[in-house]
Structure 1
């Protein structure tokens, strides 16, 4: 498929890559649209009777505990089965879960307990489906392709986020917020079908060796072992922890500010959707116009550094004036730079590691490590409040985390350049017509 002049304005795509780019865009669009249809519902439950009676640190700890079971189970699947079977299976498993939740909500079976389980489940679901997506992308595309294509692919996710939030905001009241579950179920099936199309493209165009399309192999705890023995993966894990910790502090501040207003549950869904919508509109603009150009011209170091710097500035500003509008501004800028610059750059780093590291260590980092950061932040906030710290004190006490985050990001960019050059040496010795084995 020949790239259109319109498409070439946004991305440097080659003729044989157009199909994969469009399927990847649609894949991430449906995945993120489905999640963000439900995220305002989860957040509304977090400020209503379902979850409000339970301390936040226990919710985050419960999510981390579920991850301790889910990650080894996922590692066992990818060790035995090829990606084109495992990924659709995972998405359809989550689809069945959604239908089960709909029945429980509709029949009003133990509403408070089910709301808490749903809150934890959606937190697990989000990290798993997105982590699997980016592992698959790193498996499909070489590092050079990722630099050119990841910006627009990430834009597909942001467009999906905006669509999901608009659906949640406009349909939660007239349709009933519980019925939003059906929208996500349909979109999950679309995501599974995109995986099958991309697997077919990789087989027909990229011509990977059988080992790349087959099972990953290894043990169920391989992700933890790989993380413990690789300084590069440890740094990636620290970067995720710092992002997770600072995100959780902002999320808890958002919940407290929204909770100060008296709203029913459907109105809360719309309120949270509005906040997320501002974040994602700015993200989409940056992803479409800035990401690819910045990665190619200024490099990973700058792309990875922007979000930590904005986080430090934002925390200081919110400590001085904690308001809903300033929170929206901080979250919009921080979220936009994270999704448009830092996240695609971090995912690009995984193109320099082995398949087992890509599927197992990455999954461990994106799920266990991320939710561990959530739990750490929640317990830290509770401890600081016990010591007498208010909102401003908590933000000021945790602002230095952004400095550590910046240092780790610069380390990763430097070592990524070394790894990429090391991979290019054997590639230069290959025959000119060889296709990249991703």
Structure 2
């Protein structure tokens, strides 16, 4: 191997334009996400930290109120699935990106006005908007990417493309942390608007270098009669391979929601006032720097040399270590670093490996089944985690009881590891089959 960087980033000459434009696209999406996330989370927690939230005669603290917001996110996600599925029948790749990016630009302009004096309606809608952005824009990006490359290419390119997202996370959280008190929430939304305009440029450029051309096909009678609300679910139910992806995504969301609740409750327990937002920004920054290291030095190496299956088990192992530590030592920084054990590996090696699983699937599965999994299944799993988390915290009101959520986490991790192993093995089979069918050079 003449180039030592090839061990971490094996991109061939003709693949650079697509890889770099997708790198920029993902960088901008995730930069925006990590600016929006601390803003919407900090606004929500600070608003209800002192006054609490009353629902059906029960008073919830700020962290519990956020769990209720995640349940409401499931309704928003269902609507997003229907809209995404319907549009993806007519629009693909950069065209779908143009539509959703334009929608979020309009939302940014609206919230710039609303956030001057936020009331309960603005606080809740801005929280839901932040999750909707990540739900739709990340799904749109990966539908574009997965529809543009081959399985053998995905193993090599997704490390670099995923690095764009991780670098965007580092950039977004670092810039926000250093300037969080200098600019208002509305001014940060103007920054996100600028990023959105650059996303349009990156998507248009990437569309010129796709590896898989869109082939005209005869109308599919089943597609014409399929309900956009159920088409993705039906595709998933017919495929054991897609069901294994459902298990990976669903179990991750259940576990991640419980871990995030422990993380949020720890900060709310030990800190107050502006210290809450500052701690969120600091922890998110640390998380994304670790994620950058993992994506730069581990993702490409593990995926290209050891395969997608091995890459898929890194995240559950990291969460197992963090949850075990919190079970034993539920203190501020152990609770804070639960976020790092989760998101540092989720947004790097796990996301690259998980998204590569969709490359061998059909066009309908890439768009409609994936939308169902990434939007509805993801939010439904969060709702299950909300029930578990709220049930425990309502039974045991003291902070110390939160450590026992880690026991449930460790049990679910064992099932997740089984599903990841199965999906990785099936991906390897698809890859070998395609290699065998490829013409000899």
**Same-fold call, TM cutoff 0.5:** yes
The structure 1 residue matched to 2:427, chosen from 406, 416, 433, is 416
Counterpart residue number, 1:222: 231
Q: Indicate whether 1:105 and 2:130 are aligned.
A: no
Aligned to 1:87: 97
* 8 Å CA contact 1:40, 1:269 repeated in 2: yes
Alignment of 1:35 with 2:46, yes or no, is no
Task: Please state how far the C-alpha of 1:421 moved relative to its aligned partner.
Answer: 2.5
Task: Give the stretch that moved more between structures: 6-15 or 152-161.
Answer: 6-15
Match of 2:12 in 1: 14
Alignment of 1:38-437 (within 5 A): 38-49=36-47, 53=53, 55-106=65-116, 108=117, 111-202=119-210, 206=211, 208-211=213-216, 219=226, 220=228, 221-265=230-274, 267-388=275-396, 390-428=401-439, 432=441
Q: Distance in 2 between matches of 1:419 and 1:120?
A: 38
Question: Does structure 1 conserve the Cα–Cα contact (< 8 Å) formed by 2:266 and 2:336?
Answer: no
Aligned to 1:435: none
Q: Distance in 2 between matches of 1:409 and 1:368?
A: 20
2:10 is paired with a residue whose SS is: coil
SS of the aligned residue for 1:80 comes to coil
CA distance in 2, matches of 1:227, 1:253: 32
Q: CA deviation at 1:342?
A: 1.6
RMSD, aligned CA = 2.4
* Contact in 2 for aligned 1:40/1:273 (Cα 8 Å): yes
- 1:256, 1:240 → 2: CA distance? 24
Aligned equivalents of 1:262, 1:178: Cα separation in 2: 25
The TM-score, its normalising length taken from structure 1, stands at: 0.90
CA contact (8 A) 1:168 1:270 kept: no
Any idea what SS the aligned residue of 2:359 has?
helix
Structure 1: 5+ residue stretches without partners: 433-438
Q: Which piece of structure 1 moves more, 370-379 or 301-310?
A: 301-310
Output the CA distance in 2 between the equivalents of 1:56 and 1:425.
50
Contact 1:44 1:268 (8 Å CA) reproduced: yes
Instruction: Work out whether residues 93 and 147 of structure 2, in 8 Å CA contact, stay in contact via their aligned partners in 1.
Output: no
Distance 1:9 1:253, change over 3 A: same
Distance 1:8 1:400 in 2: 38
Q: CA separation in 1, counterparts of 2:5 and 2:201?
A: 23
Note closer, same or farther for the CA distance 1:373–1:327 as it changes in structure 2 (3 Å cut): same
User: Once the two structures are superposed, what CA deviation does each residue of 1:36-75 show, in whole Å capped at 9, x if it has no partner?
Assistant: 1111111112312258526334211110011111111111
Are the counterparts in 1 of residues 148 and 212 from structure 2 also a CA contact under 8 Å? no
Which is helix-richer, 1 or 2?
A: 1
Distance in 1 (alpha carbons) for counterparts of 2:413 and 2:420: 10
TM-score by length of 2: 0.89
The structural deviation recorded for 1:387 is 4.0
Inter-CA distance 6–286: structure 2 relative to 1 (3 Å threshold)? same
Partner SS state of residue 174, structure 1: coil
Q: Can you list the C-alpha shifts for 1:111-170, whole angstroms capped at 9, x where unaligned?
A: 111111110121121121112111111111111111111111111111111111122112
Is contact 1:84–1:195 with CA below 8 Å preserved after alignment? yes
How far, CA to CA, are the matches of 2:315 and 2:233 in structure 1?
27
Distance 2:242 2:73 in 1: 23
TM-aligned CA deviation for residue 209 of structure 1: 4.1
Structure-2 separation of matches of 1:317 and 1:99: 43
- Kindly indicate whether the alpha-carbon contact (under 8 Å) linking 1:171 and 1:177 is maintained by their aligned counterparts in 2: no
Corresponding pairs, count: 420
Shift in alpha-carbon separation, 1:328–1:382, aligned structure 2, 3 A? closer
Quote how far apart the aligned CAs of 1:207 are. 6.2
TM-aligned CA deviation for residue 6 of structure 1: 9.4
Residues 283 and 335, structure 1, Cα contact 8 Å, conserved in 2:
yes
CA distance in 2 between counterparts of 1:304 and 1:6 reads 25
